Amino acid sequence: MTGPGSSRFSLHGRVAVVTGAGTGIGRGTALVLAEHGADIVLAGRRPEPLEDTAKEIEKLGCRTLVAPTDVTDVAQCERLVRLTVGELGRLDILVNNAGGASTKPLDDWTPEDWHRTLDVNVGSVWFLSRFASQPMLEQGKGAIVNISSGSAFFAFPAGAPYGASKAAVNNLTMSMAAAWTPKGVRVNAVASGAVRTDMLIEDSKKHGLDEAALAAGNAMGRIGDPEEIGYAVLFLASDASSYCSGQTLWVNGGPKG
């Protein structure tokens, strides 16, 4: 039970690392977590979008730290965690959002495409979660939220490596939860449906698809906004989901009959 005026969704006093935080789902998630009181470490490859997100977070009265990071580099993942704890004193929430996707015929994927996709979508989750878990386990509490995709659940010939990488994220989520939940660190995932991001819109245009076509497969008849994924992350990162670990929540506008 919570007292008067308190909320299980409150993140006051907590520090969250969000990867890929300069644009899209990462930016939307960082803003949602800050709106609920979290101090935010913004990680990503390009400093400029991170700085823009930081300005918005500062307006909310939260501390923020811009940390340019290539999450495919193991050493940089470790440095990100050390920087967070060193500058802000703790690490309570990790949102593994950084990822990449492209679509092309199955036979056109090169070995380099395969390794790049797996490194950014799975390798980053594996290595960064392991580094982040260390301070969380020391304090006996923490939450990791991995951003997956609906592509993990169905055949996706044009983006087979991407779909496979997100299926791997779902399985890692369960495995890490089984290892760490007994010690106080919950691990969950959000599988995103079609969301209005630059990456999705640009890739869709290559195939002659507009937003209406992207939305045709869900019950709401629209694509989502990044903040709508952010609120799902908020649920899983906060005490509102205190009895939830090892789960993948598919946020996709609902099944269409």
Q: What is the pLDDT of residues 70-116, one digit of tens each?
A: 999 999 999 999 999 999 999 999 999 999 888 889 999 999 999 99
pLDDT at 196: 81
Q: For residue 204, what pLDDT band results from cuts at 50, 70 and 90?
A: low
Interacting residues of 226 by C-beta distance below 8 A, sequence separation 6+: 24, 25, 26, 27, 28, 29, 195, 196, 197
- Residue 55 appears among annotated catalytic residues: no
pLDDT at 201: 61
Distance CA 154, CA 167 (A): 10
Tokens standing for 50?
Answer: 């991170």
Single out the catalytic residue among 129, 165, 166, 241.
Answer: 166
Tokens standing for 171?
Answer: 């399985």
pLDDT at 57: 98
Q: Name the residue ranges covered by the structural domains of the chain.
A: 15-249
Single out the catalytic residue among 162, 165, 192, 231.
Answer: 162
pLDDT at 72: 97
Yes or no: say if 140 and 184 are a contact pair by the CB < 8 Å rule.
Answer: yes
- Residue 151 appears among annotated catalytic residues: no
Single out the catalytic residue among 148, 151, 165, 245.
Answer: 148
Distance CA 44, CA 40 (A): 13
Helix (H, G, I), strand (E, B) or coil at 64: strand
Q: For residue 2, what pLDDT band results from cuts at 50, 70 and 90?
A: very low
Q: What is the pLDDT of residues 127-144, one digit of tens each?
A: 999 999 999 999 999 999
pTM for the complete prediction?
0.93
Helix (H, G, I), strand (E, B) or coil at 44: strand
For the cut 60, the answer to whether the pLDDT of residue 1 exceeds it is no
Give percent of the chain above pLDDT 70.
93
Q: What is the pLDDT of residues 210-254, one digit of tens each?
A: 677 677 789 998 989 999 999 999 999 999 999 999 999 999 999
- Summary mean pLDDT of the chain: 93
Distance CA 156, CA 236 (A): 27
Looking at residues 52-73, what average pLDDT do you find?
97
pLDDT at 3: 44
- Residue 162 appears among annotated catalytic residues: yes
Q: Which CATH superfamily, name and number, covers 15-249? A: NAD(P)-binding Rossmann-like Domain (3.40.50.720)
pLDDT at 207: 60
Tokens standing for 241?
Answer: 């989901």
For the cut 90, the answer to whether the pLDDT of residue 32 exceeds it is yes
Yes or no: say if 84 and 134 are a contact pair by the CB < 8 Å rule.
Answer: no
Read off the DSSP letter of residue 78: H
Distance CA 78, CA 254 (A): 38
